[in-house]
Structure 1
Amino acid sequence: MEWVERLPTFNALCNASSAALLITGYLFIRQGRIAQHRLCMLSALAASLLFLAGYLTYHAYHGTTRFPDLGLVRTVYLTILTTHTILAIAIVPMVVMTLHRAFTARFDRHKAIARWTLPLWLYVSVTGVLIYFFLYVWYPTGATS
């Protein structure tokens, strides 16, 4: 299925979009532009959910992609992948809690957790793009397991 092979690029674009929207949303709230902040953050969530759908679909059809054994480069890749994966799991309840506090107008508590949620979510989005570049641009192998 040719469309499945395009999903990694789609997923990277979703991650990049999420990162850009998170940064833009942060800048908006710093300027007091609450409506624009809300729109950016909800759009970042939508981009992340689209990524997740694409990621799960890709791996359901394609399986895993093995990174070549390139010594230090592989070590760097696996370090990024490991931290990305752990934080991607950890960020889910944080995003839910951050959104819940915003939607229930508990803005002091929203701000307190958002200080942690934003940088971690941003890290996950940016490292998702880096992982794409490692696997499909800089060191493509096509090997699956």
Structure 2
Amino acid sequence: MTDKFIFRFVAIVTVVVILVVVVLNRHIIPGPAVTPAFTPYLPMLNAFINGTCTVLLLVSLYYIKQGNITVHKRLNILTFCLSAIFLVSYILFHYLMQRDTIYGDINGDGKVLGNEITQYGTLRKIYLAILTPHIILAAGVLPLILLSFHRGLQMQVEKHRKLVRWAFPIWLFVTVSGVVVYLMIKPFYHF
């Protein structure tokens, strides 16, 4: 496979994933009339996967620093697979759940009570300050992950290192902030 093919493939996958997420978050495609019983467990599963990916990324870093390429590669393949499962679960949740969860919406009526007067005002600002870069970086890191993963599997070490310099800290931030976002929004889920 040529670099040109890989870049095109990564670009297409990235655009398709981002479009699917945007369409589902905007509720353009209607979900099922009855939400399946397992749906409320998907955010917790996603947080668990994110937390697991955080640990795996850090352990992978440890092993590559020790020069153990085999374990490093295996851990990254596992992390990549878990991230793919996360993406499917995330997309499934947003397809099945036809209403948004809003930070500060105590009653589940779609009204945000998190302004300056309420007890959630400051926490809402912190939540949004974490959520916003989480979303932007989650979308932006996808092509970096795909390209660095490809370079690593091809043992193109220098190209892999150059990409991972950016991909690793961003991916790590996304996995950690994903858990934090879940823990902060969890009290406002109304399933």
For Structure 1 versus Structure 2, the TM-score category normalised by the shorter chain is over 0.9
- Which residue pairs with 1:38 in the alignment? 73
- Structure 1: give runs of 5+ residues left out of the alignment: none
**Letter of the structure 2 residue corresponding to residue 103 of structure 1:** L
Runs of 4 or more consecutive aligned structure 1 residues displaced over 2 Å after TM superposition: 141-144
Give the CA deviation at 1:74: 0.4
Partners of 1:92 and 1:5 lie apart in 2 by 26
- Which residue pairs with 2:189 in the alignment? 142
Give the CA deviation at 1:25: 0.5
Partners of 1:13 and 1:141 lie apart in 2 by 18
Residues 1:8 and 2:55 aligned together: no
Partners of 1:23 and 1:87 lie apart in 2 by 18
Partners of 2:67 and 2:153 lie apart in 1 by 17
**Relative contact order, CA 8 A, sep 6+: which one is greater?**
1
**Letter of the structure 1 residue corresponding to residue 103 of structure 2:** F
Partners of 1:142 and 1:116 lie apart in 2 by 33
Give the CA deviation at 1:142: 2.9
- Which residue pairs with 1:121 in the alignment? 171
Secondary structure of 2:188 counterpart: coil
Partners of 2:90 and 2:155 lie apart in 1 by 33
Residues 1:66 and 2:102 aligned together: yes
Name the count of aligned residue pairs.
Answer: 141
Partners of 1:61 and 1:25 lie apart in 2 by 34
Provide the identity percentage.
Answer: 31
- Structure 2: give runs of 5+ residues left out of the alignment: 1-35, 105-113, 115-119
Give the CA deviation at 1:143: 4.8
- Which residue pairs with 2:63 in the alignment? 28
Give the CA deviation at 1:103: 2.1
Secondary structure of 2:155 counterpart: coil
